[in-house]
Amino acid sequence: MIALRKINKEEYLKAKSILEKENIKDDLLKGIVYVFIDNNIIIGVGKIRLEGDYGVLEYVIIEEEYRGLNLGDALLRSLLFKAESIGIKKIFYYNMNDYLFKKGFKYGEEETGSYKMFLNIEDFFSKGCCSYEDEI
């Protein structure tokens, strides 16, 4: 069974081990932190840090053996949906990232200066979830 949900305290150690493999240090305490669970095993973790009226995407990580199945997209969408539900309209990201660009993030500095990418959540959800270029 697959689940995407807010992390609970019992899952911190496993989530931290996933992050450590990617050289990410985080206490998992502040912001929106979700886990991706498959058959009761945590296979991914994502976080949006809240900064007033906007959010900053910290990471979306899927365990290496589960990559390529579009699970990161599901985790990202869950984080964005939660952010939108609490009134966050924009998400920023520190660096340029091709994956996020393909998901709808735009390059350029908007309202907050040092971030390299941003996403308007309303625009993101106004588009379809899936696009298949080969279909008519």
Residue 10 lies in a domain: yes
What does the block give as tokens for 123? 């625009």
Please name the residue that has the structure tokens 């240090």. Answer: 25
Chain-centre distance of CA 9, in angstroms?
19
Residue 131 lies in a domain: no
Strand partners, 3: 37
Encode pLDDT of 96-108 as tens digits: 999 999 999 998 7
CATH number at residue 12: 3.40.630.30
Domain count, the chain: 1
Residue 132 lies in a domain: no
Residue 135 lies in a domain: no
Residue 97 lies in a domain: yes
Domain carrying residue 101: 2-126
Residue 34 lies in a domain: yes
What does the block give as tokens for 78? 């869950």
Q: What is the pLDDT along the chain (136 residues), one digit of tens a residue?
A: 899 999 999 999 999 999 999 999 999 989 999 999 999 999 999 999 999 899 999 999 999 999 999 999 999 999 999 999 999 999 999 999 999 999 999 987 555 568 899 999 999 998 766 544 433 3
Residue 136 lies in a domain: no
What does the block give as tokens for 12? 């911190």
Residue 100 lies in a domain: yes
In what side-by-side order are the strands of the sheet with 41-51?
2-6, 32-38, 41-51, 54-62, 90-93, 117-120, 106-107
Rounded Cα distance, 82 and 75, in Å: 11
pTM of the predicted model, to two decimals? Answer: 0.88
